[in-house]
């Protein structure tokens, strides 16, 4: 089931991607709480070096994506915001010290203090009650540095220019997978379809020529 949000949009003149995280937001800290707040949540917006399914083609072949553990080196994370469903309503923000977005050995760790507005507190209650628990993030990758492995049908994001937001989301893209993206590999599946169609066209043409040749003997 596709998510109602769009798979990408242009921010800062570059195409920004949205991806779902394998983990969920939690109100229970796995270590020391990063904020002294009764409205505390944390989780991972992304995990490194772990392929996740993006989509499938007409032949049911799966396509994957992976975020390199070095992808966020040097990325602009100076003013990331936390939203709900990427709606534009800000629940926490790095600039006012209510949001922490920090890469570690596992992935992109997120912690937030959701005590500063009615909207943020309501979002906390939805997370605490299990009504909202998925996470998504919006980022601008360096498309030129992306690599693609034909054998595994896996795209690797090697560099991220900027992280714009992390969002608590109500609907995952696909309930059957632990992590899903909002869009399939950009252009890859369509290109494979075109290549397959061209192979079939050439094979049909070859057979037609062979048939005509046999009839002329």
How many Å separate Cα 197 from the centre of its chain?
A: 29
Rounded Cα distance between 199 and 30, Å, is 53
The confidence score (pLDDT) of residue 57 equals: 75
The confidence score (pLDDT) of residue 163 equals: 95
Q: Which residues of the chain have pLDDT under 70?
A: 1-15, 21-24, 171-193, 216-217
Model-wide pTM > 0.75 = no
The 3-state secondary structure of the chain reads CCCCCCCEEEECCEEEEEEECCCCCECCCCCCCCCCCCCEEEEEEEECCCCEEEEECCCCCEEEEEECCCCCCCCECCCCEEEECCCCCEEEEHHHCCEEEEECCCEEEEEEECCCCHHHHHHHHHHHCCCCCEEEEEEEECHHHCEEECCCCEEEECCEEEEEEEEEECCCCCCCCCCCECCCCCCHHHHHHHHHHHHHHHHHHHHHHHHHHHHCC
Name the token pair of 127: 């997370």
The confidence score (pLDDT) of residue 174 equals: 34
In the chain, where the domains are located: 8-184, 187-217
CB 8 within 8 A of CB 16: yes
* pLDDT tens for each residue of 98-118: 999 999 999 999 999 999 999
The confidence score (pLDDT) of residue 177 equals: 25
The confidence score (pLDDT) of residue 87 equals: 81
The confidence score (pLDDT) of residue 210 equals: 80
The confidence score (pLDDT) of residue 22 equals: 60
The confidence score (pLDDT) of residue 182 equals: 32
The confidence score (pLDDT) of residue 191 equals: 63
């Amino acid at each position: 089931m596709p998510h109602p949000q769009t798979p990408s949009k242009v921010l800062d003149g570059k195409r920004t991607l949205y991806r779902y995280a394998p983990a969920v937001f939690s109100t229970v800290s796995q270590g020391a709480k990063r904020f002294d707040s009764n409205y505390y949540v944390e989780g991972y917006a992304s995990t490194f070096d772990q392929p996740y399914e993006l989509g499938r083609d007409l032949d049911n072949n799966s396509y994957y994506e992976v975020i390199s553990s070095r992808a966020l080196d040097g990325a602009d994370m100076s003013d990331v915001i936390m939203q709900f469903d990427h709606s534009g309503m800000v629940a926490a923000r790095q600039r006012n010290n209510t949001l922490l977005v920090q890469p570690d050995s596992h992935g992109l760790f997120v912690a937030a203090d959701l005590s500063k507005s009615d909207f943020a507190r309501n979002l906390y209650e939805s997370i605490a009650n299990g009504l909202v628990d998925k996470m998504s993030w919006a980022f601008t990758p360096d498309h030129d540095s992306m690599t693609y492995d034909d054998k595994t049908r896996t795209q690797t994001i090697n560099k991220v220019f900027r992280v714009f937001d992390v969002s608590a989301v109500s609907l995952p893209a696909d309930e059957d997978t632990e992590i899903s993206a909002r869009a399939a590999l950009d252009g890859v599946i369509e290109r494979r379809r075109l290549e397959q169609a061209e192979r079939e066209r050439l094979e049909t043409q070859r057979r037609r020529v062979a048939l005509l040749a046999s009839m002329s003997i």
